[in-house]
Amino acid sequence: MALIIFDYDGVLADTLDDLIRFGQEACNQLDVKHVVTKDDLTNLEVMSFATFGRACEVPEHLVNEFVKISLKLFAEKESPPAIFDGLSEVIGHLSTNHKIAIVTTNSSQNVHTFLTQHGLGSLVHAVYGVDTPGSKAQKISMARERFVENGETVFMIGDALSDVRAAKEAGVLSIAVTWGHQSLETLLRGEPDYVVESPQQIIKIVK
């Protein structure tokens, strides 16, 4: 049995358009004169709503407000984001023999809504969101301490350079996905243990 930890935005949930739209709306509410584009996300060293706000030229004293507005807009969205093709099946397959957790800079509430909408609520054992104190590496360690008893392998699956670095900091294996918010070139700077181009490849690696 392995512990398989997924990032949320850009790995499970196709939130790119929402991030750009909500980031723009947050800037507008805060009277920040910035046009939000994908580049504001793809070039981030650390992927979080706070660093996203800074990339959008939000003044430091307004960054926390940018985060609150963005998370609120996600929570108020009429329907949760789409799940990337193939991931429902992959999670269903993996959950039969492994523990599944999510570590994200989004809110736990938003993630649980998404999981319920896509029929995955009973397959994911824990969600560590922005509302859980600690860095991403610390949250990975929390999940390991909770679910790993006999030295089982732990995988962190992410779409950002910061996910790869958090996995290394926590001492777990990293799987970088190419369908998310950051380019392969950016991901490779973190020297991930594995790179996958489709969800089905995750099953082969875990085996």
Question: What are the residue boundaries of the structural domains of the chain, listed by start?
Answer: 3-14+80-206, 16-76
State the average pLDDT over residues 64-78.
Answer: 92
Give residue-wise pLDDT tens across range 72-94: 998 898 888 999 999 999 999 99
CA distance 127 to 130: 10
Say which CATH superfamily domain 3-14+80-206 falls into.
HAD superfamily/HAD-like (3.40.50.1000)
Token pair 């990337």 in the structure block, residue: 84
Neighbours of 49 (CB within 10 A): 25
pLDDT at 43 > cutoff 80 = no
CA distance 84 to 50: 24
| Contact call for residues 202 and 94 (beta carbons, < 8 A) | yes
The model's confidence at residue 60, banded by pLDDT at 50, 70 and 90, is very high
The residues with which 126 forms a beta bridge, in sequence order, are 101
Retrieve residue 173's tokens: 């294996």
HSE-CB for 151 with a 13 A CA cutoff: 0
Per DSSP, the three-state class of 161 is: helix
Q: pTM of the predicted model, to two decimals?
A: 0.88
Give residue-wise pLDDT tens across range 110-146: 999 999 999 999 999 999 999 999 999 999 999 999 9
**What's the confidence (pLDDT) of residue 207?**
85
Residue 61 is given by DSSP the state: G
Element housing 174 (H / E) = strand 173-177
Residue 127 φ/ψ, nearest 5 degrees: -125, 125
Per DSSP, the three-state class of 21 is: helix
CA distance 1 to 57: 44
The residue type found at 53 is: G
- Non-local (6+) Cβ contacts of 71 within 8 A are 49, 106, 107, 110, 130
